[in-house]
Amino acid sequence: MKTYPDLGILVPEVFLPRPGVDLTKWAVIAVDQFTSQPEYWQQVEQIVGDAPSTFRLTLPEIYLEKSGEAERIQRIQATTHQYLDAGILQPREGLIYVERTAGGKTRKGLMLCLDLECYDYTKGSTSLIRATEGTIVERLPPRMKIRAGAALELPHILVLIDDPQRTVIEPLGAAAASLEKIYDFDLMLGSGHLTGYAVNDAALEDAVVSALRDLAQPEAFTAKYDVSADQPVLLFAMGDGNHSLATAKAVWEKIKPTVGMNHPARYALVEIENVHDEGLAFEPIHRMLFDLHQDFFAALNTTFGANLTYIPSADAEEMINQVDTAHGTVQTIGLVGGGAGRTFGVIRIANSGSNLPVGTIQIFLDAFLKAGGAERIDYVHGQDVTVRLGSQPGNIGLYLSGMAKGDLFKTVILDGALPRKTFSMGEASEKRFYMEARKIA
């Protein structure tokens, strides 16, 4: 294994489908998407049919903690071995430069492995690799069951670097014409196009490593963020897949006393992207409450009292505009549904103890759910889904504005992890698809 311990990275051996495999059927979107839209996953199953597919190697979260989960996990673990034994997956070593086109934008990435010894998802972490949002440890055990018994990992993890001079990934894009193209195909269900290039040039690999080392220089880090010299360097910040990387870490901590420090499970395969990539957008993640059992507005009034104001909106468009253009210290959150004749409106909360509206409402929702106020919560992408689901009887949709992506690193450095589900890297259909695999056992 070719490692760079000072950067917490490893050059991976990846497994890709052999020639002749239908890649559009092979690649499937991240399992944590469309969790309230079973029709999406029914379409995926119909498209895949009996073809080799990552749909058979992963467990969509819509099926988590549902009847048949244990049997699904067993099938996943058996299928990973079948694909390897049948030669459906074939190995190749090296970095992979990735271009993903979706929604008229192209974002660039680099596949490599991160050292889980350099990552800590706990609150207050100062590790080289850090979570950007709170990790819910209760969500890890079912994911650990899958990973602990799997021969392969398939990542949907996107990790960010803060590279305003575009020195790490972008030079690979400039050199792409000279690189071997190893996959190039349309993704299913209108999710765009994916192209991968083998970075098999030693000089290019050396340039990537050198550029990462420049970003990780303590002096440069101190100057960039205007922090004290004793502030530990943050090189890699989680973008998407926070709980997947946390699962990998938890499994590694559990097994390392018996397998030793050179085991492949010490590392996790990820795609890194530059937060300054023009093709990368931060989108808000909205909240959905299903099957209300208590009066939502009564609970809001009890919690926020005189600091709470509700303003009706004529329609969804007006509500969305009020949220997206809000400014000042009073926090604004859009509301869909809520009963008592309400359809659309905005909640305004003054004197909040949280810096972001998402933090304010999440604290409230956690308490509301704990008190039995609703059957369940989900985190959804897109204003259309929020409006459609929130308008259904017994549901409530909460529409939130996004955060500026340029603020991410300094916020995490100074304030620690953001409230969970604060932002999303693109809309649901733009999420990472499972393509590459790597042996972890």
**pLDDT of res. 427:** 86
Q: Where are the domains of the chain?
A: 2-282+425-439, 286-399
**Contacts with 293 (C-beta within 8 Å, 6 or more apart), sequence order:** 372, 373, 374, 375
Show the 3-state SS of 164-227. CCCCCCHHHHHCHHHCEEEEEEECCCCCCEEEEEEECCHHHHHHHHHHHHHHHCHHHHHHHHCC
- Predicted TM-score (pTM) of the model is 0.86
Residue 121's SS3 state is coil
Instruction: Tell me how far apart the terminal alpha carbons of the chain are, to the nearest angstrom.
Output: 14
**pLDDT of res. 341:** 67
**pLDDT of res. 373:** 96
What is the C-alpha separation between 73 and 65, in angstroms, rounded? 11
Q: What is the mean pLDDT of each run of 10 residues along the chain (441 residues)?
A: 95 97 98 93 97 96 86 90 95 97 95 98 93 87 86 96 98 97 98 97 97 97 94 96 94 96 97 97 94 94 96 96 93 88 90 85 95 95 93 95 88 86 88 97 90
Q: What secondary structure letter does DSSP report for 33?
A: S
- Give the H/E segment covering residue 85: helix 69-85
Using an 8 Å Cβ cutoff, are 211 and 235 in contact? no
**pLDDT of res. 340:** 66
Burial class (CB in 10 A: 0-12, 13-18, 19+), 318: middle
Number of residues in the chain: 441
- Give the H/E segment covering residue 344: strand 342-349
Of the candidates 297, 415, 396, 280, the one whose C-alpha atom is nearest the C-alpha of residue 356 is: 415
